[in-house]
Structure 1
């Protein structure tokens, strides 16, 4: 002790060596214990036992593949009426929102001196007709040159053209409905002065409506003009229509194709802009009807279903939809006979070995 008191560095050395020996002995003991535990663990305990899953065996059935789309209503025809002459509005017999028949008067414009122009043009035509007849008779007798006869004929045709223009201008003072429909807009009032091309009214055809939608390149290949379409409107009303247009060119911005479906509107209740769901039967395929609760995502985020093969291994099938409604969904491109996992699909992965338990056996227990 006196030596350690005189030489304290010896005490530090002894303590350091003791600490190192203690640490080394601890690691050695841990390694030995780990080897002993590994040697004592049976190899069979490292392998997990197969899980029980409930399965339902099912046979594919023929069904109709359906294309489900969303669309909106639009009128079949909309006519924007414009003035073809310059005149003042003197009469508006139809109000906005009223229904009109083809040929009904929507607006009248002032005739001004147009009747007098017609009378003047008619007189001029008669004058040239008489002049032409006289000179033609003289030309046949050899007293009149053929050149003079041609000039009179040209003047007669010009007078007839002026008469026709005057008659059309008078007719254009009355603006009529081009077809049966409803007067949607009328931006003019009595006393307004309109010029050529000014808006007079807009008439909407109510007899038929369109459903407008857009489809992808793949969906476009399944559609053609004349195909029947079941349409469910947002009001719950169900109507049947036909495809009247399937565009041949995609829009530049969206790379989609425009589709138009024509539907009847006998009760005049449809309005433009209503949402609609379209169901279009495309072809017949073999498919399995399942509940949407069977759909799961795999590790890659792909939606599909899990089944058990003949080796009692889990198989994942990506979902290929044929149709869907309130009662379930129909999946295609699956084996004709398959065992769907109905309970436990969330606890197993593709390739796992499982113990399949049929649903009918569980119901008998």
Structure 2
């Protein structure tokens, strides 16, 4: 009963020994037992002549070559692109807030409605604002009415000052004359004292006139100040009334309903949100580029983006950040895209391809890419001597037809099948297929 398992184990061990330990001899035996080899053995080739020694050596090398499939690839100029992952965002998004407190007296607009710039979104009850405006306007009229009376005081004070100065000049002349006559003995001391008293009286009159002029000028300034204060009160009351009507700052879509009729809006310490409005035409795409690719992007570069749910859009780079995000070390890129039908919504995921300077590249199948012993990405090629050679490449981008790679000569033969079974310097016997380009 145990004989069959033992025989099976022995057979399996013999097969494994032949395949692993005696693999070379087994392959040699198989080649000698093949019909082609039997025919070659039955009819041994003639010894090569001296002039065909090189051809015979090449033929012998070809008989030991590894069969592979390859393509003749020619580099072509392609538009290089920096591919980013990003999302759509509204060009502008604003929470329209009330700047005054009051009860909403307007019928609400529903979310999703399109509003024009300047359109009324919310209207508040004016309350006592109109009365405040009327009071401020009355104070302004009263202040302006005082202008003629105050202006008339200034010329009158100036005339009094001129008259007092003339009297002072006359008193000074009289005093000088009396003083000189008294020194010559022609005038009495009483006359001199009277002249001096007249001079002092004239000086007091001049001082009083100057004080009157200053008072008149101060009154004029007070009137001007009162007018300015009244005008400020009118402007303040008018601004408060203007704030009772909230307008759309730009044309766009309402993301929320406007404030409900009868609700109370408080500018301080309460709810003051009238509505949220979005501008989606144009819309912007926002992505982040790493440090290694930021140098390949320029403001104004054309962009093609593919949305996750399908469809593509085109635009141009309108902003490239000058400072990196401190956490991700990436730079913000913004692309403006026309959206006249509002088909694009904010928050959609997109694959953004920013066109950069063109570069010569080869289009190869993704399966042709391989790694060398150092882990470098590349392809295996057939050189001019028919030997396999590894060449490193740099992937530009993936396409539905294959991978666009750079780093290869302009013309090269790339192994597409069998590249994993050869190493550098191994003779290969390629059979060529049509290229992808």
Report the TM-score range of the alignment, normalised by the length of the smaller protein. Answer: 0.7 to 0.9
What is the aligned partner in structure 2 of residue 126 from structure 1? 141
Is 1:321 matched up with 2:395?
A: yes
Alignment of 1:209-288 (within 5 A): 209-288=283-362
Deviations 1:109-166 (A, max 9, x none): 1100111111111111111112134313422443653222222211211111111010
What is the aligned partner in structure 2 of residue 174 from structure 1? 245
Cα distance, 1:313–1:86 mapped onto 2, change above 3 Å: same
Q: Is the 8 A contact 1:52 1:354 kept in 2?
A: no
Q: Which has the higher strand share?
A: 1
What is the aligned partner in structure 2 of residue 116 from structure 1? 131
**Partner of residue 427 from structure 2, selected from 349, 354, 363:** 354
Provide the C-alpha distance between the structure 2 equivalents of 1:73 and 1:352, rounded to a whole number of angstroms.
52
Provide the C-alpha distance between the structure 1 equivalents of 2:312 and 2:125, rounded to a whole number of angstroms.
48
TM-score computed with the length of structure 1 as normaliser: 0.80
Cα distance, 1:136–1:316 mapped onto 2, change above 3 Å: farther
What is the aligned partner in structure 1 of residue 22 from structure 2? none
**Partner of residue 202 from structure 1, selected from 276, 285, 309:** 276
Deviations 1:267-289 (A, max 9, x none): 11111111112222211211111
Q: CA deviation at 1:187?
A: 7.0
Gaps spanning 5+ residues in structure 2: where? 1-24, 26-63, 159-212
Is 1:334 matched up with 2:408?
A: yes
Compute the RMSD of aligned alpha carbons: 2.3
Gaps spanning 5+ residues in structure 1: where? 1-40, 42-48
Provide the C-alpha distance between the structure 2 equivalents of 1:193 and 1:149, rounded to a whole number of angstroms.
46
What is the aligned partner in structure 2 of residue 309 from structure 1? 383
Q: Is the 8 A contact 2:65 2:427 kept in 1?
A: yes
Cα distance, 1:123–1:151 mapped onto 2, change above 3 Å: same
What is the aligned partner in structure 1 of residue 115 from structure 2? 100
Q: CA deviation at 1:58?
A: 2.1
SS at match of 2:280: coil
Deviations 1:86-125 (A, max 9, x none): 1122223412221111122111111001111111111111
SS at match of 1:283: coil
Q: Is the 8 A contact 2:308 2:350 kept in 1?
A: yes
TM-score computed with the length of structure 2 as normaliser: 0.68
SS at match of 1:110: coil
Q: Is the 8 A contact 1:207 1:264 kept in 2?
A: yes
Provide the C-alpha distance between the structure 2 equivalents of 1:304 and 1:360, rounded to a whole number of angstroms.
20
Cα distance, 1:360–1:166 mapped onto 2, change above 3 Å: closer
Q: Is the 8 A contact 2:122 2:258 kept in 1?
A: no
What is the aligned partner in structure 2 of residue 345 from structure 1? 419
Deviates more, 1:218-227 or 1:87-96: 87-96
Is 1:148 matched up with 2:219?
A: yes
Q: CA deviation at 1:50?
A: 4.2
Deviates more, 1:111-120 or 1:52-61: 52-61
What is the aligned partner in structure 2 of residue 55 from structure 1? 70
**Partner of residue 193 from structure 1, selected from 247, 259, 264:** 264
Deviates more, 1:118-127 or 1:151-160: 151-160
What is the aligned partner in structure 2 of residue 139 from structure 1? 154
Q: CA deviation at 1:189?
A: 2.5
Provide the C-alpha distance between the structure 1 equivalents of 2:433 and 2:333, rounded to a whole number of angstroms.
47
Q: Is the 8 A contact 1:308 1:356 kept in 2?
A: no
Cα distance, 1:348–1:133 mapped onto 2, change above 3 Å: farther
Cα distance, 1:140–1:84 mapped onto 2, change above 3 Å: farther
Cα distance, 1:309–1:134 mapped onto 2, change above 3 Å: farther
What is the aligned partner in structure 2 of residue 44 from structure 1? none
